[in-house]
């Protein structure tokens, strides 16, 4: 089952494409990190997936075939926007009452229990809560709908480190307790590396990287080689990013897997999610879309800096 599937998806505002040629098949049961620079198209993709906007071209479906924004999709997809839009003049209790009346699958007992655990008094006005408490309230309202897919657009942007940790802990607890799938857009790479098992990287409105985190990391490696061997390395492997340091060159490359042969004298090391993401952001024309690696790496060389 795919929780989000797109085919040739694109969105244009006047003459400017915010997203184009987007083809994705995101499997269910994953915690998906959606990353990219500002203006990359992340919010546009999420808004298309939850039905807030319509495509200029292409298709987007959720939950194995439901049209994005359809009644069936709206019942099973919960969305928390970056600014956690809440009715600030309402009390917390009134906010819960409103949400209960608007959602057929509402779990009032869960919502009240969770707010009690967080120490959020229901008689307080929402506008008087701290930023962290408002984010937790928005998350509670989303989770109390008992969705199959939770979509989060930059929920950590305005939170301090402790609030970030608590928010992500709550998300992961919900994943552990149910069959919930999560798509999370964020610049907080360190937080994402702890929780995500699937990565989508957007740059300039296009998908640059998409796939399971373990697979993507296995297909990338850091090579440190003598400067004189840099061209030979580029012939052997697809280079994503290169950094020069005196007599040595440090390259992040794509490989066939952990067993890829590296010549004697070249230093090799594994990479983390943050390092891979930053490399592709620096080299936005490099591509690591999922699928079998070519038998001859030399036919698919990436750019080097």
Please give the pLDDT value at position 258: 58
Residues 177, 41 share a domain: yes
218-257 burial code (b ≥16 CB/10 A, e <16): bbbbbbebeeebbeebbebbbbbbbeeeeeebbbbbbbee
Compute the distance between CA of residue 249 and CA of residue 24 in angstroms, rounded to an integer: 34
Instruction: Indicate the pairing of strand 238-245 with strand 248-254.
Output: antiparallel
Burial-class residue 265 by CB neighbours within 10 Å (0-12, 13-18, 19+).
exposed
Yes or no: say if 24 and 4 are a contact pair by the CB < 8 Å rule: yes
Residues 117, 90 share a domain: yes
Helix (H, G, I), strand (E, B) or coil at 11: strand
| pLDDT tens for each residue of 187-240 | 888 888 889 999 999 988 999 889 999 999 988 999 999 888 888 888 888 889
DSSP state of 118: H
User: Which of 167, 192, 214 is at the close of a domain?
Assistant: 214
Helix (H, G, I), strand (E, B) or coil at 275: helix
Yes or no: say if 78 and 147 are a contact pair by the CB < 8 Å rule: yes
Please give the pLDDT value at position 286: 61
Reference 166, options 137, 198, 129; nearest CA is 137
User: Which of 214, 231, 261 is at the close of a domain?
Assistant: 214
- Assigned domain for 113 exists: yes
Q: How far is CA 3 from CA 179, 180, 181, 249, in A?
A: 11, 10, 7, 41
Write out residues in the chain with pLDDT < 70, as ranges: 257-260, 284-305
Residues 176, 50 share a domain: yes
Please give the pLDDT value at position 298: 31
Yes or no: say if 5 and 60 are a contact pair by the CB < 8 Å rule: yes
pTM, entire model: 0.85
CB atoms under 10 Å from CB of 263, counted, come to 12
CB atoms under 10 Å from CB of 168, counted, come to 22
Rg (CA), the chain: 22
Residues 240, 160 share a domain: no
Residues 227, 145 share a domain: no
User: What is the domain extent for residue 226?
Assistant: 219-300
Residues 285, 144 share a domain: no
- Assigned domain for 163 exists: yes
Residues 269, 123 share a domain: no
Residues 119, 166 share a domain: yes
Residues 194, 107 share a domain: yes
- Assigned domain for 305 exists: no
Reference 24, options 208, 196, 182, 179; nearest CA is 208
Please give the pLDDT value at position 185: 94
Residues 227, 210 share a domain: no
User: Which of 178, 193, 214 is at the close of a domain?
Assistant: 214
CATH of the domain at 149: 3.40.50.300
Yes or no: say if 42 and 24 are a contact pair by the CB < 8 Å rule: no
Residues 99, 44 share a domain: yes
Domain total in the chain: 2
Residues 146, 63 share a domain: yes
Please give the pLDDT value at position 127: 92
């Amino acid at each position: 089952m795919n929780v989000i599937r797109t085919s040739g998806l694109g969105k244009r505002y006047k003459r400017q494409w915010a997203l184009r040629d987007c083809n994705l098949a995101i499997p269910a049961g994953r915690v998906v990190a959606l990353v990219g620079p500002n203006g990359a198209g992340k919010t546009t993709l999420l808004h298309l997936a939850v039905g807030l906007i319509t495509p200029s071209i292409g298709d987007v479906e959720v939950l194995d075939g439901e049209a994005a924004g359809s009644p069936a999709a709206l019942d099973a997809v919960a969305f928390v926007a970056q600014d956690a839009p809440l009715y600030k003049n309402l009390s917390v209790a009134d906010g819960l009452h409103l949400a209960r009346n608007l959602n057929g699958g509402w779990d009032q007992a869960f919502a009240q229990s969770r707010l009690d655990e967080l120490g959020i008094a229901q008689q307080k006005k929402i506008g008087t809560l701290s930023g962290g408490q408002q984010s937790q309230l928005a998350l509670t309202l989303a989770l109390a709908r008992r969705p199959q897919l939770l979509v989060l657009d930059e929920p950590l942007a305005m939170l301090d480190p402790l609030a970030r940790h608590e928010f992500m802990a709550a998300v992961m607890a919900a994943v552990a307790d149910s069959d919930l799938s999560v798509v999370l857009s964020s610049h907080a790479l360190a937080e994402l590396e702890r929780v995500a098992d699937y990565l989508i990287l957007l740059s300039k409105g296009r998908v640059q990287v998409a796939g399971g985190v373990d697979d993507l990391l296995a297909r990338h490696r850091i090579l440190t080689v003598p400067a004189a061997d840099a061209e030979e390395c580029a012939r052997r492997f697809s280079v994503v990013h290169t950094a020069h340091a005196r007599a040595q060159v440090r390259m992040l490359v794509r490989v066939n897997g952990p067993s890829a042969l590296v010549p004697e004298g070249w230093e090799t090391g594994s990479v983390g999610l943050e390092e891979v993401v930053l490399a592709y952001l620096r080299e936005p024309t490099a591509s690591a879309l999922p699928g079998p690696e070519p038998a001859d790496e030399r036919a698919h060389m990436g750019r080097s800096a």
